[in-house]
């Protein structure tokens, strides 16, 4: 049952990716797409900006074990969600503050998702994008139901599924924001300096797959079942650590493959992933120290010998929650790069020419350097 969130998330994201790939070849002309307003894209950006703080607050709820601070659902202690006395919410216990705030922010995300569907129906010329926004709405409703059932049933397994589904929804929102952007439409009919092969696409597809598996493993560690054996726990921890360094290695290899591709919308996020994974590994070490103390492999660190595990303070909770939120950000950024790469492959068919990359490395003249940094959106003129 702990893998149900993984399977459910893969179903929603996989369905969305299939819709994108199936409809790339049947899109309307660039002029027709430019006629569509930017309201859909702006709402997608708003959704992305709301969902990541929602993941932060949800992480705080789990860190403080505040999931049952409000024992009823969909209301709050008998009140309508939006009519609960704000003084009691703001001045009451902290666990009530973050749990009720998590619900309010989730409701706002749902309202924005509804607005997105309505605007896509009237403003978006590509009907498959409208279907994609409908998928977002279904996903946010599903996530809300999972959270509500977790409270009503008091089931920690549902809390784990809820925690796994949230990052997948965040990644889907980020992908939709890319698809509805003006830059996505301008790829049509352009001839760029990069050609993408299936090997590069598979490499970048492995990064979000691996990062999401890491999120699932992390959710199992955060929502440890009472009947879990120490051996299983140790195995999950070891797998989590090994896959973290494997993910770091893959991000470095992927960046090396496209660092000179000429499109900064690909190379810069790919480079950002290396830094994000490095920060995530450091936060993972901090999370382990906060929860279990310094591991023996780091006994040489000054002050580790006298460290005592105590009740989490605010700074400790920020470290743990940052680890959760950064994992979701890595997933979203990797999905964005992968989606853009699929788009480039569709518009500029072929494979990357290693010889061309070497020529770019050798040619360091200012004129050609300027050409190298030209985006794929602008054709390079000889």
Please provide the DSSP assignment of 223-275 as one string: T--TT--HHHHHHHHHHHHHHHHHHHHHHHHHHHHHTTSS-HHHHHHHHHHHH
The sign of the CA dihedral 177, 180, 183, 187 is positive
Which secondary-structure segment (H or E) carries 137?
helix 127-153
Q: What is the pLDDT of residue 342?
A: 87
Asked whether residue 74 is domain-assigned, the answer is yes
Residues 61 and 196 in one domain: no
- In this structure, are 272 and 124 located in the same domain? no
Using a 10 angstrom Cβ sphere, with 0-12 exposed, 13-18 middle and 19 or more buried, the burial of residue 275 is exposed
Give residue 36's pLDDT.
53
Q: Is residue 144 part of a domain?
A: yes
Mean pLDDT of 163-167: 92
Mean pLDDT of 209-219: 94
For CA atoms 72, 75, 81, 84, give the dihedral sign: negative
CA distance 376 to 379: 6
Q: Identify whether the C-beta of residue 28 lies closer than 8 Å to the C-beta of residue 126.
A: yes
The pLDDT score that the predictor gives to residue 311 is 64
On the question of pLDDT at 32 being above 50, the answer is no
The residue that leads in pLDDT, 193 or 96, is: 96
In a domain, 318, yes or no: yes
What is residue 64's predicted lDDT score, i.e. its pLDDT?
Answer: 87
Q: Supply the range of the domain harboring residue 149.
A: 1-188
Pair 171, 205 in one domain: no
Show which of 138, 163, 188 is a domain's final residue.
Answer: 188
Domain contains 360 = no
Q: Are 245 and 164 within one domain?
A: no
Are 181 and 215 found together in one domain? Answer: no
Domain count, the chain: 2
Among residues 143, 163, 188, the one where a domain terminates is 188
Final residue of a domain: which of 135, 170, 188?
188
Instruction: Mark whether 167 and 229 lie in a shared domain.
Output: no
Rounded Cα distance, 382 and 379, in Å: 10
Model confidence at 344, pLDDT cuts 50, 70, 90, reads: confident
Query: Residue 343 has what pLDDT?
Result: 86
| Contact (Cβ atoms closer than 8 angstroms) between residue 194 and residue 352 | yes
Helices (H) and strands (E) counted in the chain, each on its own, are: 14, 0
Gap between the Cα atoms of 332 and 118, Å rounded: 24
Q: Assess whether 196 and 174 both reside in one domain.
A: no
237 lies in the same domain as 179? no
**Within-domain flag for 235:** yes
Asked if 76 and 115 sit in the same domain, the reply is: yes
Residue 378 lies in a domain: no
Does some domain include residue 96?
Answer: yes
Q: Are residues 162 and 224 in the same domain?
A: no
User: Does position 352 have pLDDT exceeding 50, yes or no?
Assistant: no
Q: What is the pTM of this model?
A: 0.81
Same domain, 282 and 168: no
For residue 263, which phi and psi values (nearest 5 degrees)? -115, 110
pLDDT tens for each residue of 9-30: 555 555 555 555 555 544 544 4
Q: Tell me how far CA of residue 46 lies from CA of 40, 49, 108, 139, in angstroms.
A: 10, 5, 11, 17
Side-chain half-sphere CA neighbours of 79 within 13 A: 13
Q: What is the mean pLDDT of residues 197-224?
A: 90
CA 298 to chain centre: 30
Asked whether residue 379 is domain-assigned, the answer is: no
State whether 183 and 197 are in the same domain: no
Distances (CA, A) of 181 to 38, 53, 60, 239, 342: 8, 22, 32, 37, 15
């Amino acid at each position: 049952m702990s893998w149900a969130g993984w399977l459910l998330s893969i179903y929603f994201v996989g369905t969305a990716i299939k819709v994108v790939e199936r409809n790339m070849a049947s899109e309307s002309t660039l002029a027709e797409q430019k006629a569509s307003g930017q309201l859909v894209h702006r709402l997608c950006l708003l959704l992305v900006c709301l969902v990541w703080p929602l993941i932060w607050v949800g992480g705080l709820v789990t860190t403080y074990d505040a999931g049952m601070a409000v024992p009823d659902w969909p209301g709050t202690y008998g009140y309508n969600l939006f009519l609960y006395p704000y003084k009691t919410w703001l001045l009451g216990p902290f666990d009530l503050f973050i749990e009720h705030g998590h619900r309010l922010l989730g409701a706002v995300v749902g309202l924005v998702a509804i607005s997105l569907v309505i605007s896509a129906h009237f403003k978006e010329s590509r009907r498959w994008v409208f279907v994609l926004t409908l998928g977002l709405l279904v996903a946010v409703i599903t996530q809300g139901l999972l959270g509500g059932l977790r409270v009503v049933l008091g089931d920690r397994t549902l809390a784990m599924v809820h925690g796994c589904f949230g990052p997948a929804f965040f990644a889907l929102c980020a992908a939709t924001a890319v698809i509805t952007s003006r830059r996505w439409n301008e790829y049509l009919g352009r001839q760029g300096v990069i050609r993408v092969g299936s090997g590069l696409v598979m490499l970048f597809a492995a990064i979000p797959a691996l990062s999401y598996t890491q999120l699932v493993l992390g959710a199992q560690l955060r929502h440890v079942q009472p009947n879990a054996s120490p051996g299983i726990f140790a195995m999950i921890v070891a797998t989590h650590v090994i896959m973290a360094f494997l993910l770091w290695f893959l991000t470095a290899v992927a960046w090396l493959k496209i660092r000179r591709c000429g499109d900064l919308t690909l190379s810069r996020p790919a480079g950002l992933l290396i830094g994000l994974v490095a920060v995530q590994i450091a936060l993972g070490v901090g999370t382990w120290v906060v929860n279990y103390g310094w591991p023996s492999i780091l006994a040489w660190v000054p002050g580790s010998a006298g460290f005592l595990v105590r009740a989490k303070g605010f700074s400790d909770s920020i470290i743990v929650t940052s680890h959760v939120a950064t994992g979701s950000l890595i997933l979203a950024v990797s999905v964005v790069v992968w989606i853009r790469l699929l788009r480039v492959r569709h518009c500029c068919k072929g494979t990357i020419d290693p010889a061309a990359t070497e020529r770019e490395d050798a040619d360091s003249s200012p004129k050609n350097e300027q050409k190298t940094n030209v985006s794929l959106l602008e054709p390079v003129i000889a």
